[in-house]
A and B are shown apart, each in its own frame.
Chain A
């Protein structure tokens, strides 16, 4: 629902992302505060988590384009992240290429691999497609483990920190800028993509691909574009992950991670950029809090046994997904819309939907 008095008189206004001067003001103020105050004020640990959220948002946005908008299910997002991370590790550390080249190149490499595993989408969909991306997850990780000297196999790959001239991005608040600039740019890109011709084609393919084909949309082409973009985002997320962790190993890109990313778009709300952000923040906070409370739960409730500290996060994640799917399939973003509507009508609303 629009704010009072805002009407669309031109097509550009109808598809506008930001409609009112107040929106503009809030956005600019938020960005200015976020980039100047947060890295200085926030303590190291929470900055670490904010950076983690930033990286996850990029990966989840990619998945949101593929699954939320184009309707193709992928269980391999973290494997595509692994591709990006290892390309960055090889380029940046082994070959000493500057980081601002590494990041887009690893995005592109990952995108091409994503295209490869998107090929089955020509013939299959639904469960079958989920299966083929599950295969991607296993095969890519296997290749990394058996990559010998190039990927250092099962050993951790130590990364040299990104540098710009003499300035090394070594601490959390310096890495923060790289991650958040990428995240902001990619959020803007995906939001913009969705209101373009490509985005509308994605939505048509999601809603009914046969009907979309009859309307003259090249279904296979757009599915592949979605796979490419999704893996591209994952590649960039992986590349940033590499600089963020400064040591990568195949274990960080487990199937579980892909499943968490899928859960994030479910919890946030499918087919919404804002939803992807909400879901990421929500589930990452669950993860962080259970890491803190899990050992405590083991201490205070000894009958739960030693396993609880590691199982609490996973169990809560499973329950959260099931509860959201059964009771609020439109996700957190729907609550956000309801809250906004409430305050726009308040105090003169005669019916609150």
Chain B
């Protein structure tokens, strides 16, 4: 029972980060119906960037946050303007392939700018351990979890009550109607990309803090895909829940099955779940089932 609780808790803690990264994918998809395959690499780049600021340039932590957020936002803006703006209205395959091309380019960029391995963050989160229901967990993991929940609440508030959030939801609903109401749809697209990349960077930093900064972070970003599919492509709360579910299931699967099949279950459990969800409940838990018209 105790091991079960341990797997459950550590799953929830890592799942929250998947959730945050997944929300970025959903925000982009909702506004511009583009599935961003480069999200994994963007997660990694965000983390590497923050690491560079903190370690190589020795900038104080408070400024690092500000610089990182504004740079992430600028990057999202740039990607949207340069790469995706010319492709509005193209078939799905085009938008998938262009983000895949972007992911390859960014992966190469990471290799060029930050070659080699062995980077770790200096300690900037509180250290220590807490005892929760008899299970010992690191304080920085709890801190990361609460950051994720806080961000989730912040963005829920943003979408629900601010003017710009309402404009975003209107754009997600129908581009033409939104335009008729005086919303600049392309501006919203760029804004969504900016927000999504901020989320990805935050997720990347939180993972990188506890597991080391390496190219492997791109794979963490890819694990957000099953989370998105699980929750349904259109739901922000769903993406977060999907992230939690993926985190918990991969920990349970890895914990209980690894000894039978020789390790590595953790890596494929999310994709196995994704395949099952796609076959039996293709639009996820909260996704819209769209009625197609010819």
User: Footprint of B on A, CB under 8 Å?
Assistant: 67, 71, 73, 117, 119-120, 123-124, 126-128, 130-132, 134-136, 138-139, 142, 145-146, 148, 208, 210-211, 214, 256, 259, 262-263, 266, 270, 304-308, 310-322, 325-326, 329
Output the least CB separation between A49 and chain B (Å).
21
- Known A-B contacts A131-B225, A318-B102, A318-B105; the reply to A139 vs B278 at CB < 8 A is no
| Other 12 A-B pairs with CB < 8 A, given A120-B282, A307-B113 | A120-B275, A120-B278, A123-B278, A128-B229, A134-B225, A135-B275, A139-B268, A305-B115, A306-B115, A314-B111, A317-B104, A325-B97
Expressed in whole angstroms, the Cα–Cα distance for A307 and B116 within the complex equals 8
On whether the beta carbons of B104 and A146 are closer than 8 Å, the reply is: no
Residues on B with beta carbons closer than 8 Å to the beta carbon of A148? 262
Contact with A along B252-294 (1 / 0, CB 8 A): 0000000001111001100110110011001000000000101
User: Can you list 18 A-B pairs, Cβ within 8 angstroms, ordered by A?
Assistant: A73-B92, A119-B279, A124-B282, A127-B29, A127-B96, A135-B271, A139-B275, A142-B264, A146-B264, A214-B294, A307-B111, A307-B115, A315-B108, A317-B101, A317-B104, A318-B104, A322-B105, A326-B87
Whether B105 and A128, one on each chain, are in contact in the complex, defined by CB atoms closer than 8 angstroms, is no
Shortest Cβ-Cβ A-B pairs, 10 listed: A318-B105, A315-B108, A321-B101, A307-B115, A318-B104, A311-B111, A311-B108, A307-B111, A135-B271, A314-B108
> Would you call B62 an interface residue if the criterion is a C-beta within 8 Å of the partner chain's C-beta atoms?
no
Q: What 1/0 flags go to B97-132 for Cβ under 8 Å of A?
A: 110111111111101111110000000000000000
Between B87, B108, B274, B282, the greatest number of chain A beta carbons within 10 A of the residue's beta carbon is seen for B108
The docked-state distance in angstroms from the alpha carbon of A135 to that of B279 is 12
Q: Answer yes or no: B94 CB below 8 A from chain A CBs.
A: yes
A67: B residues at CB distance < 8 A: 93
Known: A138-B267, A317-B104. A310 touches B294 (CB 8 A): no
Looking at the complex, which one of B98, B108, B262, B278 makes contact with A312 (CB distance below 8 Å)?
B108
Across-interface contacts of A326 in B (CB, < 8 A): 83, 86-87, 98
Closest to B108 in A: A315
* Contact, CB under 8 Å: B101 / A263: yes
B193 at the A interface (CB under 8 A): no
B97 nearest CB neighbor, chain A only: A266
Alpha-carbon gap, A263 to B98, bound state (A): 10
A136 / chain B contacts, CB cutoff of 8 Å: 275
CB atoms of A310 and B101 under 8 A apart: no
**Contact of B108 (CB < 8 Å), options: A139, A214, A318:** A318
Distance of A308 from chain B, by nearest CB (Å): 5
Interface string of B228-239 (1 = CB under 8 A from A): 010001000000
A321 touching B97 in the complex, CB below 8 Å, given contacts A307-B112, A315-B108? yes
Within the complex, which residue of B112, B233, B275 is in contact with A311, where a contact is CB–CB below 8 Å?
Answer: B112
Query: Residue B58 at the A interface, CB < 8 A?
Result: no
- Judging by beta carbons under 8 Å apart, are B292 and A210 in contact? yes
Residues of chain B from 74 to 103 with CB closer than 8 A to chain A in the complex: 83, 86-87, 90, 92-94, 96-98, 100-103
Given A124-B282, A132-B278, A259 contacting B104 (CB threshold 8 A): yes
Q: Is there an interface contact between A321 and B104, defined as CB atoms closer than 8 Å?
A: yes
Please judge, given known A-B contacts A138-B271, A307-B111, A311-B108, whether A262 and B278 are in contact too, CB under 8 Å.
no
Given contacts A119-B279, A135-B272, A314-B104, contact A325 B94 (CB under 8 A): yes
Complex: chain B residue closest to A132, CB-CB: B278
Cβ distance B193 to chain A, nearest Cβ, rounded Å: 15
How many Å lie between the Cα of A322 and that of B87 in the bound state?
10
B90 CB to closest chain A CB (Å) equals 7
CB neighbours of A127 from chain B (8 A): 29, 35, 92, 96, 233
Assess A259 versus B100: contact at CB under 8 Å? Given A127-B233, A146-B261, A305-B112. Answer: yes
Q: Which residues of A contact B87 (CB under 8 A)?
A: 325-326
A263 to B272, CA, bound (A): 26
How far does the Cβ of B21 sit from chain A's closest Cβ, in whole Å?
15
Expressed in whole angstroms, the minimum distance between the Cβ of B178 and any Cβ of chain A is: 22
Of listed B29, B87, B111, residue having the most chain A CB within 10 A: B111
Chain A contacts of B279 at CB under 8 A?
119-120, 123, 132
Distance to closest chain B CB from A284 (angstroms): 16
Q: How far is the CA of A311 from the CA of B107 in the complex (A)?
A: 8
Instruction: Give min CB distance, A324 to chain B, whole Å.
Output: 9
Chain B residues whose C-beta falls within 8 Å of the C-beta of A132 in the assembled complex: 274-275, 278-279
Contact residues in A for B233 (Cβ distance below 8 Å): 127-128
Could you say which of B97, B114, B225, B262 has the most chain A C-beta atoms within 10 Å of its C-beta? Answer: B97
Which A residues are CB-close (under 8 A) to B225? 131, 134
A261 to B23, CA, bound (A): 29
Which residues from A are CB-within-8-Å of B294? 208, 210-211, 214
Complex CA gap A127/B113 in Å reads 31
Given A262-B100, A321-B100, the answer on whether A123 and B282 have CB atoms closer than 8 Å is yes
Chain B nearest CB, measured from A204 CB (Å): 13
Pair B108/A322 contact, Cβ less than 8 Å? no
A128 to chain B, nearest CB (A): 6
What's the minimum C-beta distance from A343 to chain B, rounded to whole angstroms?
30
B282 touches A128 (CB 8 A): yes
- A311 CB to closest chain B CB, in angstroms? 4
Contacts of B271 in A (CB 8 A): 134-135, 138-139
B-side contacts of A256, CB under 8 Å? 104
For B102, list chain A residues within 8 Å (CB). 318, 322
Residues of chain B with a CB closer than 8 A to A146's CB: 261-264
| Min distance, Cβ B102 to any Cβ of chain A, angstroms | 6
- Chain B residues near A320: list those with CB within 8 A: 101
- Knowing A305-B115, A318-B103 are in contact, say whether A142-B267 is a contact too (CB < 8 A): yes
CA distance A314 to B107 in the complex (A): 8
